[in-house]
Amino acid sequence: MTSPAMTISSTVRRAADPSPILAAEELPPTQHFIGGQFTGGTGSETQSLVDPGSEETICEVPQGTAEDVDAAVLAAVEAKEAWGRTLPKQRAEILLAIADRLAENADLLARLEARNTGKPLMVAEDDITNSIDTFRFMAGAARATTSIAAGEYAQDHLSVIIREPLGVVGVVTPWNYPLLMAAWKIAPILAAGNTIVLKPSEQTPLTTLKFAELTRDLLPAGVFNVVTGLGPIVGARLAEHPKVDMIALTGSVNSGRAVARAASETVKRVHLELGGKAPVVIFDDADLAAAAESLRAAGYWNSGQECGAGCRVLVHESVAEKFTGLLVEQVGSLVVGESTAGADVELGPMISKAHYERVLGHLERAQADGAKAAVGGGAMEGPGYFIAPTVLVDVPEGAACSLEEIFGPVVTVETFTTEEEALTRANEVPYGLAASVWTLNAQRSHDVASRLDAGTVWVNSHLVLANEMPWAGFKSSGYGRDLSAYSLDDYSRTKHVMHNKAR
Ligand code: NAD
């Protein structure tokens, strides 16, 4: 736990009406979903789900076994041929029907997500809106795929490229955006003609189970299956299963390594969306007020439990003091509270007690390393796993807080002198998911953006996403693209068929 010096007395906005955001009958069936049916599975262990804002237990969910995974994979194998043969138009119509069904239930899904994760309603609503649009985009993209033109590339031989589904794709999702990260996988994987076995995070399976319940009459049995449970049991079995053709994981680097190791035995494809530590490079000619305002959201959205969060500021020394003042002002006015405490609540709790203690451990270590909290710096009052939005300054070069993923409401501010130094330091993190550059000089912004080692680089912005554009990391942030038409490529295989037409 945090030392007394790190604890600040800031209060958490509590809901005026203490009744839960969700009625018990609005919960999904708390069972696995296999072959179109909810089932208790073969195990006897359960996992308690806890509302991180109130620390109340919500319900129990089964911890799946390897046998449950095998049953789900069998269902997905049995469904794959018929689903793979459907026309893009048919799959697109089903994806659009799923989008409509999610839209009809958007309020319920947002409240369910808020209840399970503790996130503010405005964040949960944004998750659901984007999940719906992911299905709509993939419905269109499935019907507009592009490829190398068919033609004669060798004498008298006509070449044709055929895009085929992979078969069964195993999916493992994290807790930070439970339905949104599931949608980023489900929509392109189904659009490309594959069937799915999905393991949600053991902490946040509720919206994924609700998705199964809501779309049960729209998808043929076995096309979409869910097995709840722990990563090293359910996720590991999916990764090693000989009948799973690809494993796609969004999660931490350690889980990515474990999945890639397990997948290597069957040489299955691996798709990894892992952690991040996005640098924010601010030059002396930048619009400092705009940068500070943008980081209010980009550094603290979802309480900083965001892989693309702008959490590692590198600001030119000549404007550092002014920028830090503006940022501290923005961060000091963030509204922290329970998800039901008002539409203006911007920050919720950490997802779990373990993660809360992990983030507090990072803050303690940062202080021991010499960093100072210009605002925030520690735990807020309970119940709930709330941590004050924090800006760390006087960060010694190489300090862990500026290099490791904290995954909480913590932004570090460091200074640089030259552009070369800024680039070297921005690229020294092991991750390569996202970065931003702030300058009004167009030549500099183009050049610096091209030299930043990250899959997404924003210029004078941060954390703005579009379903049409890819989201994919470099270096330890993994490989494989989410979103965009590129994800359809990742979830397909291309076959070259060559016809001898000599006569
Ligand atoms: P986590 O790695 O602890 O868990 C992610 C999932 O992996 C969970 O479902 C978990 O049960 C499973 N898992 C754990 N060990 C496994 C194993 N040995 N085999 C198979 N599955 C296993 O991550 P988390 O704490 O849920 O999520 C936070 C992490 O996710 C952060 O590092 C964050 O940056 C990353 N993330 C990345 C993106 C992205 O797009 N790159 C998006 C969201 C989150």
Looking at the structure, do residues 342 and 270 belong to the same domain, yes or no?
Answer: no
Average pLDDT of the residues of the chain: 96
The answer, yes or no, to whether residue 159 has pLDDT greater than 60, is yes
Atom of ligand 1 nearest to the CA of 253: 32
What's residue 20's pLDDT? Answer: 77
Looking at the structure, do residues 255 and 359 belong to the same domain, yes or no?
Answer: no
The answer, yes or no, to whether residue 294 has pLDDT greater than 60, is yes
Looking at the structure, do residues 226 and 337 belong to the same domain, yes or no?
Answer: no
CB-ligand 1 contact for 172 (6 Å cutoff): yes
Residue 35, domain extent: 23-274+479-492
CA 94 – CA 424 distance, rounded (Å): 47
The answer, yes or no, to whether residue 18 has pLDDT greater than 90, is no
pLDDT band at 4 (very low <50, low <70, confident <90, very high): very low
Looking at the structure, do residues 252 and 379 belong to the same domain, yes or no?
Answer: no
CA 146 – CA 336 distance, rounded (Å): 46
The answer, yes or no, to whether residue 141 has pLDDT greater than 90, is yes
What's residue 283's pLDDT? Answer: 98
Looking at the structure, do residues 56 and 156 belong to the same domain, yes or no?
Answer: yes
DSSP code for 107: H
Task: Judge whether 498 lies within some domain.
Answer: no
Task: Judge whether 259 lies within some domain.
Answer: yes
Report how far ligand 1's centroid is from the alpha carbon of 242 (Å).
Answer: 22
Task: Judge whether 4 lies within some domain.
Answer: no
β-pairing, 157-165 vs 372-375, is unpaired
Tens-digit pLDDT profile for residues 482-503 = 999 999 999 999 999 999 999 9
- Residues contacting residue 36 through CB under 8 Å, at least 6 positions apart: 75, 216, 219, 220, 221, 222
Report how far ligand 1's centroid is from the alpha carbon of 253 (Å).
Answer: 8
The answer, yes or no, to whether residue 8 has pLDDT greater than 70, is no
Closest C-alpha to 399, from 441, 368, 423: 368
CB-ligand 1 contact for 47 (6 Å cutoff): no
Looking at the structure, do residues 168 and 294 belong to the same domain, yes or no?
Answer: no
**Mean pLDDT, rounded, for 273-301:** 98
Tens-digit pLDDT profile for residues 313-363 = 999 999 999 999 999 999 999 999 999 999 999 999 999 999 999 999 999
Pocket test residue of 123, 172, 270 for ligand 1, highest count of atoms within 8 A of CB: 172
What's residue 16's pLDDT? Answer: 87
Closest C-alpha to 58, from 18, 109, 14, 24: 24
Atom of ligand 1 nearest to the CA of 473: 41
Task: Judge whether 72 lies within some domain.
Answer: yes
Query: 435: part of which helix (H) or strand (E)?
Result: strand 434-438
Tens-digit pLDDT profile for residues 471-486 = 999 999 999 999 999 9
Closest C-alpha to 482, from 189, 283, 260: 189
Report how far ligand 1's centroid is from the alpha carbon of 250 (Å).
Answer: 5
CA 11 – CA 284 distance, rounded (Å): 36
- 204-220 burial by CB neighbour count: b if 16+ within 10 A, else e? bbbbbbbbbebbeebbe
What's residue 209's pLDDT? Answer: 98
**Mean pLDDT, rounded, for 100-107:** 98
The answer, yes or no, to whether residue 251 has pLDDT greater than 90, is yes
Looking at the structure, do residues 284 and 169 belong to the same domain, yes or no?
Answer: no
pLDDT band at 21 (very low <50, low <70, confident <90, very high): confident
Task: Judge whether 472 lies within some domain.
Answer: no
Looking at the structure, do residues 238 and 155 belong to the same domain, yes or no?
Answer: yes
Looking at the structure, do residues 371 and 239 belong to the same domain, yes or no?
Answer: no
Closest C-alpha to 365, from 335, 323, 408: 408
Pair of tokens at residue 2: 């945090």
Number of domains the chain contains? 2
CB neighbour class for 126 (10 Å; exposed up to 12, middle 13-18, buried from 19): middle
What CATH number is given to the structural domain containing 184?
A: 3.40.605.10
The answer, yes or no, to whether residue 2 has pLDDT greater than 50, is no
CA 286 – CA 299 distance, rounded (Å): 18
Tens-digit pLDDT profile for residues 30-68 = 999 999 999 999 999 999 999 999 999 999 999 999 999
Task: Judge whether 129 lies within some domain.
Answer: yes
Residue whose pair of structure tokens reads 């919960």 in the numeric block = 27
Whole-number Cα distances in Å, 373 to 280, 376, 396: 19, 6, 13
Report how far ligand 1's centroid is from the alpha carbon of 175 (Å).
Answer: 8
Task: Judge whether 474 lies within some domain.
Answer: no
Atom of ligand 1 nearest to the CA of 276: 34
Tens-digit pLDDT profile for residues 395-426 = 998 999 999 999 999 999 999 999 999 999 99
What's residue 426's pLDDT? Answer: 98
pLDDT band at 108 (very low <50, low <70, confident <90, very high): very high
Looking at the structure, do residues 270 and 341 belong to the same domain, yes or no?
Answer: no
Pocket test residue of 181, 207, 250, 356 for ligand 1, highest count of atoms within 8 A of CB: 250
Looking at the structure, do residues 130 and 181 belong to the same domain, yes or no?
Answer: yes
Pocket test residue of 171, 252, 353, 467 for ligand 1, highest count of atoms within 8 A of CB: 252
What CATH number is given to the structural domain containing 284?
A: 3.40.309.10
Task: Judge whether 81 lies within some domain.
Answer: yes
Looking at the structure, do residues 316 and 416 belong to the same domain, yes or no?
Answer: yes
